[in-house]
Amino acid sequence: MRTAVWRAVAAGVALGVVSTLGWALTGGPFWPRWVWLALALAAALTYVGVRALRITPGPRRWLAAEGGLLAVLFPFDLVVWLMTGRGHFWPAYSAAGLSVLIGLHQWWMSRRPSAEEGALRRRIDTLTRSRYTAVDLQATELRRIERDLHDGAQARMTSTALAIGIAERQVASDPEAALRTLRQARSTARAAVEDLRGVMRQIYPPVLADRGLRGAVEALAVDLAVPVEITGSDPPLPPPLGAAVYFGTAECLTNVVKHARASQVEVRFELHHDRAAVEVIDNGCGGARVDAGSGLEGVRRRLSVFDGEVLLDSPAGGPTRVRMRVPR
Amino acid sequence: MRVVVAEDLVLLRDGLVGLLQADGFDVVAAVSNGDGLADLLVRERPDIAILDVRLPPSFTDEGLRSAVRARSVIPGLPVMILSQYVEQIYARELVADGAGGIGYLLKDRVSEVDTFVSGVRQVADGGTVLDPTVVAAMVQSQRRVLPLDRLSPRESEVLELMAQGLSNAAIGAVLVITEKAVTKHTANIFSKLDLAVSADDNRRVLAVLAYLNGRST
């Protein structure tokens, strides 16, 4: 680069010197001044261009290039005007014309959003959508938990308290009946605990807290009717994200058992520097789709909240490959 | 009989201790923390340890890991694990060493005081007591790999009860059949599954669990 610049400079100077020598030999008016002027113009424009190229692409580069062009061309016109006998002051028109063109271009650019701005706008759209999804999912989840607690554990605890109250009244008059009522109260209380356990499992599976994502998937695999091979190491994800990926993996495995008619499933954990991925691959019949209202659509929504995505590859005839990608 | 209890919830710990003392157990230590629990078990060598799976400081499966660690030093150290939830994978890990003396029950089974206390004594004697929920899950998930379909429905029931650690007499009581009928069923099960017949209750449970665990006996 540097040598190319020096070569161009040397060639320019040589051209000027040769033409000056030529004029010295032939005589006449000093025409090489036009050669020197053209060389100076080329040098000045190159300088402006190189300066502009150093600025990151965008409106600021355009402003530097166009401002530089004006700053070079107007003095050039002035010199030409001086050298051609100072007639009518035409450089005013060329300078005004160029200024208007530059002004128009700058105005047009200021109205058009930059690529950066476009990307930001799209990001804001995505975030707004995923925030609504998050709030929506959370509200649905809370409503379901509320209903489960209301119909299950709460109803059973109320019934337990009632039975104990009845037993208190029976103790003196009919101890045998009191004993029967108490037994019933105990079994109702146990059923309430059973209900609570079910609700807790849906909120955050205890085994996930104990063993991490990989361990929890292993525990899931033990219960499954299809042999599961688990590869890769446990991705260290924050708990809410880990739970979302766990429920996603559980959904995929349920689908495999229900629909895929597969004889083998692989769950593969992958760790990249800024992302983690879990892949569920089965050798079943394929043809899975992410339809509205489907389990996979639910997984996609749930992961989108964390900037995660679900990629599905399931040609008819199989195999099916579901890839869940999330940031770490 | 010397007992160590580890349970972080005061209410439950006091309840357990009271219940055990009322039944003549000698509670030598009742701790609320998993820190140094394995060492405590090795030092005290209790006749039985009753541990909650989830304990501070990590609030994960501290109790379970302490039990496995202590049993690696003292093989067969009787341990009863209590938990708010049961996982098949934990049950498999616990019985994997084949040494016996293992209990794994849902916490709310404690409310059936008599059954619970006899379970504790059974584990202290080297027996194995597993929660029905976890046994049912084990049988269910092994159905695909093991020839469990060869068993009649009644034999399946008997297999599950055996895996829970019940004796022939207890199985008979649950299913309301004679002990002789139970003996006949167990003999059928053992021959259908190609298991070596064992008269000893403890060894019989271990054989069944090892079988369900997918290991050859």
For residue B182, which of B198, B162, B163 has the smallest C-alpha distance? B162
Q: How far apart are CA B74 and CA A245, in angstroms?
A: 39
Q: Which amino acid is at A23?
A: W
For residue A76, which of A43, A37, A39 has the smallest C-alpha distance? A37
Give the residue ranges of DSSP H helices in chain A: 2-26, 32-54, 59-83, 91-111, 115-149, 155-173, 175-203, 206-222, 239-255, 295-304
For all residues of chain B together, what is the average pLDDT?
88
Give residue A226's pLDDT.
86
Q: Is the minimum CB–CB distance between A164 and chain B shorter than 8 Å?
A: no
DSSP state of B107: G
Q: How far apart are CA A205 and CA A248, in angstroms?
A: 13
Q: Is the pLDDT of residue B174 over 80?
A: yes
**B52: confidence class by pLDDT, cuts 50, 70, 90:** very high
Q: Is the pLDDT of residue A1 over 70?
A: no
Instruction: Say if the ipTM goes beyond 0.85.
Output: no
**Mind giving me the DSSP string for B167-189?**
-HHHHHHHHT--HHHHHHHHHHH
Q: How far apart are CA B101 and CA B121, in angstroms?
A: 10
Q: How far apart are CA A224 and CA B202, in angstroms?
A: 29
Q: Is the minimum CB–CB distance between A210 and chain B shorter than 8 Å?
A: yes
Share of chain B above pLDDT 90, in %: 52
Reported as a single tens digit per residue, the pLDDT across B67-117 is 999 999 999 999 999 998 888 889 988 888 888 899 999 998 898 899 999
Give residue A266's pLDDT.
95
Which residue among B88, B92, B144 sits closest to A225, beta carbon to beta carbon? B144
Which residue among A190, A207, A224 sits closest to B141, beta carbon to beta carbon? A224
Q: Is the pLDDT of residue B217 over 70?
A: no
- Can you tell me which residue has the tokens 């079994």? A187
How is residue B47 written in tokens? Answer: 């006749």
Which residue among B87, B108, B140 sits closest to A207, beta carbon to beta carbon? B87
Mean pLDDT across A85-89: 85
Which chain B residues are closer than 8 Å to A225 by Cβ?
A: 141, 144
Give residue B214's pLDDT.
66
- H or E element, residue B49: strand B48-52
Q: B30-54 burial, b if ≥16 CB within 10 A, otherwise e?
A: bbeebeebbebbbeeebbbbbbbbb
Out of A29-33, A265-269, A298-302, B168-172, give the one with best mean pLDDT: A265-269
Q: How far apart are CA A10 and CA B197, in angstroms?
A: 103
Distance of CA B192 to the CA centre of its chain: 25
Mean pLDDT across B28-39: 94
Reported as a single tens digit per residue, the pLDDT across A157-216 is 999 999 999 999 999 999 999 999 999 999 999 999 999 999 988 888 999 988 999 999
Q: Is the pLDDT of residue B138 over 90?
A: no
Q: Is the pLDDT of residue B166 over 80?
A: yes
CA distance A54 to chain B (A): 55
Which chain A residues are closer than 8 Å to B140 by Cβ?
A: 223
Give residue B207's pLDDT.
79
**B199: confidence class by pLDDT, cuts 50, 70, 90:** low
DSSP state of A233: P
DSSP-derived 3-state class of residue B61: coil
Tell me which of A322 and B95 has the higher pLDDT. Answer: A322
Q: Is the pLDDT of residue A120 over 70?
A: yes
For residue B31, which of B46, B11, B51 has the smallest C-alpha distance? B51
Q: Is the pLDDT of residue A108 over 60?
A: yes
Mean pLDDT across A71-97: 89
pTM of the model: 0.71
Determine the residue among B59, B82, B89 to mutate to test chain A binding: the one whose Cβ has the most chain A Cβ atoms within 10 Å. Answer: B89
Which chain A residues are closer than 8 Å to B105 by Cβ?
A: none
Reported as a single tens digit per residue, the pLDDT across A211-245 is 999 999 999 998 888 889 999 998 889 988 999 99
Q: Is the pLDDT of residue B215 over 50?
A: no
Q: How many helices (H) and strands (E) does chain B have?
A: 10, 6
How is residue B80 written in tokens? Answer: 């009863």
Q: Are A106 and A66 spatial neighbours (Cβ–Cβ below 8 Å)?
A: yes
Chains A & B: contacts with CB separation below 8 Å: 47
Give residue B216's pLDDT.
36
Share of chain B above pLDDT 70, in %: 96
